[in-house]
Structure 1
Amino acid sequence: MLKKGYIFESLAGLGQTTLAVAVQIGYAAVIFFSSMVQKSGMSTDIIVAYRLMFAAAITVTLALIFERLDSLRMWTVSGRAKLFGIVLGLSGGMLFTFYRGPRINTWSTYLDLLHLEKLQNNQEVVLPRKVGVQFFAVLYALGHCMCSSLWLIIQVIT
């Protein structure tokens, strides 16, 4: 029987590894689907707003399932701090999503991983790739996986 607050301790060994792999697959899926939706023409602001809404819905659902002993207790200092943190976090997320400030041009972030070229009749053709680009892409992917894994390990330690 799982006690509240001890759910992740019950996933010792292979369960923790499976959960970490599932999180990485989830990250990859979010990035993949976000890029596909953006290529179809949806605004980046709308994509970010949808991602925040879905993340909030999933987080609230998981919190209601696994962390029901936590109460607000509005008349205590910790209850008011919790409420202030919730309001501040939600308003900050919405501010960053919908704020229109001056555009900061750093460098081009356009990256065509498939090397597609649009022809006159809107068909896409894959161009041949250079070996050097593939080498750096593999190094980048390995570095990203290592940094993500280290980040998860550091989160567990803290």
Structure 2
Amino acid sequence: MDTMKLYLAIILIRFIYAGMFILNKAAMNSGMNNLVFIFYRQAAATLSLLPFAIIFERKEAPHLSFVVFMKMFMLALCGITGALNLFGVGLRYTSSTLGAASFNTLPATTFLLAVLLRMEVVKLRSVSGTTKVVGIVVCLGGAMNYAFYKGPRLLSWSHHNSVAHKGSQHSNKTWITGSFIFLAANILWSLWTVLQGRVLKEYPSKLLFTAMQCFLSTIQSFFVAIAFEHNFSRWKLGFDVGLLAVAYCGIVVTSITFYLQAWIIEKKGPVFLAMFTPLSLVINIILSMFLLGEVITLGSVCGAVLLVCGLYIVLWGKNKEEGRSEIHQERQMTVLESTASEVV
């Protein structure tokens, strides 16, 4: 029964993320400014998270020093404000499918940055080390294929939804530009993921830590949006797809997925969760074709296959390495226990 709940939770998470890409793209196709959208999204996320963080962690939370606060500020600026705004620009230039596909490069780029920052070690002479390097190369190959090769059309769904069709077609120049913007956003996300671990050691209250970053990113996103969008009529929210996207991303994505992901990681670990990342891409390809009128090409299919294969190769190598590390630690403990018994 517990196993069934885990799989249902993972499928729900993947559908939530696929819906996020679809609604983001639909909101931008309807004319909503992507910078303004990020501000409202983070404001909604803050309002949904902060009360729970205060109720459940206020008494046990450690003292927030100025140094830790500034680290949180820089993390929010890099991994939330910077990454989400770049992601929004990339989404405007390309498609929701490419946005979902770019998510599959996150494990590879995160691992690469961890290696560059000397937080991970690559043993090229070991099978696991070589496998992870191969996986990264395959992931990057899939991303490059997505960016530079479209190929013939395979599937499309024509309908008369003006929101779906508006802005759904892109030139090769904007597509390539958007692909590199996605890459920059993923690098910032990966850097944010890698550096969060260090700050969490200083401030272990996870819910308050997340809520604080959402709050800081709301302020940052406001100044970014107001610097580029001076027409305040474009800041108005109506009862349309823009308001739905803001509420969905700010409340559903932030609150529900945060809880479910933490629960799954606690039960099965991060590798188990990451293994199902490509499911969002598959769901997104199908939904974007029907709801947004996006075209599925041979290049997008080939790129998706390479991205998924690269992701699983990296995860397999990482999992194998962690398994060997556990075996090595168990052997060391056995040796120490036997030595201690001999001394006694």
Q: TM-score range by the shorter chain?
A: 0.3 to 0.5
Between the two structures, name the one with larger relative contact order (CA 8 Å, sep ≥ 6): 2
TM-score (norm 1): 0.48
Query: Which structure: greater helix fraction?
Result: 2
